[in-house]
Structure 1
Amino acid sequence: MELRTLRYFVAIAEAGTVTAAAAALHFTQPSVSRQVRQLERQLGLELFVRDEGRLRLSAAGRAFLPLATQLLAQAERTQAAAAAIAAGHLPTLTIAAPATTLTDVVAPFLATLGPGDPMPAVRAEVPISVYGALARGADLAIGATPWPAGLDGRPLADLPLWAYVPAGHPWAGRSEVSVEALVGEPLLLPTPDYYPRRALDVAVASARLAYRDVHEFTSAEVAQAVAASGRGIAVVSDDARFDLHPLRVLGVGISLYAAWEPDHYAATTIRAVVERLAAFCVARYGPEVTPL
């Protein structure tokens, strides 16, 4: 079954006669009639009732008409999408990143996109598998480790790690805190499979220190909620919630990297979006997050 014969069928159904349909399609009447009869044979359906030179849709034809119309519309959309792909345009941009990065970095950036930008889609990935998402259909992956060999990429930002305390905490008047001071306090930390925790663990080990009192959470937002209740200091990379006061943890940060397939048909568009995302990070968090 060819799209051309479907177009002939729909044209006759709309025009009411083969002659009118042939004129609209700029084909000869015998050619249009022959193609429609071929379609009927392929489908095993009598689509029209022939009545004194006019054609009326049969019951089968009335049932088949919306299906044919939908198929032709989908074919037109597919052709338009193929043309966009051939031109290197990206109709939809799928971004894969850990949940925290999606919430605090990607989502605010997406709010700045305009009508001429690709339609965004996001995919939450655990950190260890984020770059593998490119092989599963994502266009852009954002992780906290350098991208693997074989991919194109760019450092995005070096974001701070924050220690959050409630307004009444003795540290609420400070803007930063050392790792040495932190380890002696009750800490509300992400579990070790999260990059902020790993970064803090490395800093603690490098300073030959040890935690005194640690409570682990799989949700940075929950850790902040518990900190707001006065039960400890939340150390996470997320933006502040629950009116907590942020202190930058000295000497510890999270580096973000963007990666994409080098042979992606819209690699130029993806790179341009990444450059805008890097500039957005600097505008949002300050020039100090510019990667070295």
Structure 2
Amino acid sequence: MELRPLRYLIAVVDSGSVTAASRAVHIAQPSLSRQLRQLEAELGLELFDRAGGRLVLTPAGEQFVPIARDLLARAEAANAAAAALAAGRLDRVTIAAPPTTMTDVIAPFLATLNADDPFPSVLEQEPQTVYEALRRGADLAISTEPPPRRYASLVLAVLPVWLYVPAAHPWAGRDSVELDELIETTLLVLPPGFKPRQLLDQAAERSGIRLSRTVENSSAEVAQALTAAGRGLAVVTDDSRFDLVGLQIRGAEGPLRVQLHAGWDAEHHAADSLRALAGRVGAFCLHRYGLTVAPGG
């Protein structure tokens, strides 16, 4: 089926007459009428009742018009997508990230986009599976886990692992806490698959410290809520909530910090645009958290 007769059909419906439609689509009236009859013959449907010299949609025509509009919209979308592919342009972008990164980095960054930027959509993924989303249609993945080597990548920021304490806690006036000070502290930690927990366990092992008073929470926000309730101290990378105060945790090799990575398919038709977008996310992190989170800084 050709799309041109469908456009003529919609022109007649929207214009109200063949005469007005012929002017709108720049075709002679007899030619437009002939195209409509050929469309009816091809479909095996009578779309118009021509009694009285006027074209009135039949019940079948009423039902077919939305289908025709949908087909034309899909064709236009396909043409636009093909043009974007050919130009290496990014009209839409799907970003995959873990929940914490989505809440603290991606969502605030998306609020800074303007009308000329690609239209975004997001996929929340667990840190261990975030890069698998690139094989399922995501354009850009951002995580504290480094991407597999087959993907192009960029380090966006280096973020602290925080120990959160209530404002009334004796440590609240400090900037940091030594790892060995936490031996007798109830720590509200994430499961082992999360980077803050991994860094905490690795630092403790290197220092020969046993952190036996740990309570796992699947949600970093819940860990902070329990801290506010006086049930322990949260070890997370999230932004502060519930008026908690963040202290950096210092191990034998310095403060515990996580790298925030972006990964994308190097063969993506808009790979250059994705690199530029990832760089903007990195610049946003510097603006939001300060130059101390700059990679290598």
Same fold (TM over 0.5): yes
Structure-1 separation of matches of 2:285 and 2:126: 22
In the alignment, what sits opposite 2:209?
A: 209
Structure-2 separation of matches of 1:237 and 1:49: 68
Write out per-residue CA displacement over residues 221-242 of structure 1, whole angstroms, 9 at most, x where no aligned residue: 1111111122211111111111
Letter in 1 for 2:60: A
Write out per-residue CA displacement over residues 170-193 of structure 1, whole angstroms, 9 at most, x where no aligned residue: 211111011111233111111111
Letter in 2 for 1:254: V
Can you give the 5+ residue segments of structure 1 that lack an aligned partner in the other structure?
none
In the alignment, what sits opposite 1:193?
A: 193
Stretch deviating more after TM superposition (75-84 or 22-31): 22-31
**How many Å apart are 1:220 and its aligned residue?**
0.8
Change (3 A) 1:177 1:22: same
Query: Which of 267, 285, 295 in structure 2 is aligned with 1:291?
Result: 295
Stretch deviating more after TM superposition (249-258 or 196-205): 249-258
Structure-1 separation of matches of 2:265 and 2:2: 35
In the alignment, what sits opposite 1:158?
A: 158
Aligned residues: 291
In the alignment, what sits opposite 2:92?
A: 92
Task: Indicate if the aligned counterparts of 2:128 and 2:145 stay in contact, CA closer than 8 A.
Answer: no
What is the TM-score of this pair, normalised by structure 2?
A: 0.89
In the alignment, what sits opposite 1:16?
A: 17
Write out per-residue CA displacement over residues 222-274 of structure 1, whole angstroms, 9 at most, x where no aligned residue: 11111112221111111111111111112211111101011111212111111
In the alignment, what sits opposite 1:145?
A: 145
Structure-2 separation of matches of 1:212 and 1:193: 18
**How many Å apart are 1:65 and its aligned residue?**
2.9
What is the TM-score of this pair, normalised by structure 1?
A: 0.91
Change (3 A) 1:62 1:222: closer
**How many Å apart are 1:195 and its aligned residue?**
1.1
Query: Which of 280, 289, 294 in structure 2 is aligned with 1:276?
Result: 280
Structure-1 separation of matches of 2:286 and 2:20: 63
In the alignment, what sits opposite 1:267?
A: 271
**How many Å apart are 1:69 and its aligned residue?**
3.2
**How many Å apart are 1:208 and its aligned residue?**
1.1
In the alignment, what sits opposite 2:43?
A: 43
- Three-state SS of the structure 1 residue aligned to 2:161 is strand
Task: Indicate if the aligned counterparts of 1:16 and 1:56 stay in contact, CA closer than 8 A.
Answer: no
Task: Indicate if the aligned counterparts of 2:228 and 2:244 stay in contact, CA closer than 8 A.
Answer: yes
Change (3 A) 1:205 1:65: same
Structure-1 separation of matches of 2:238 and 2:167: 18
**How many Å apart are 1:146 and its aligned residue?**
2.2
Task: Indicate if the aligned counterparts of 1:162 and 1:249 stay in contact, CA closer than 8 A.
Answer: yes
In the alignment, what sits opposite 1:63?
A: 63
- Is the counterpart of residue 257 in structure 1 residue 258 in structure 2? no
Structure-1 separation of matches of 2:220 and 2:8: 60
**How many Å apart are 1:30 and its aligned residue?**
5.4
In the alignment, what sits opposite 2:134?
A: 134
Letter in 2 for 1:258: A
Structure-1 separation of matches of 2:46 and 2:81: 34
**How many Å apart are 1:160 and its aligned residue?**
0.4
Letter in 2 for 1:290: A
Letter in 2 for 1:229: A
Change (3 A) 1:11 1:180: same
Structure-2 separation of matches of 1:50 and 1:212: 85
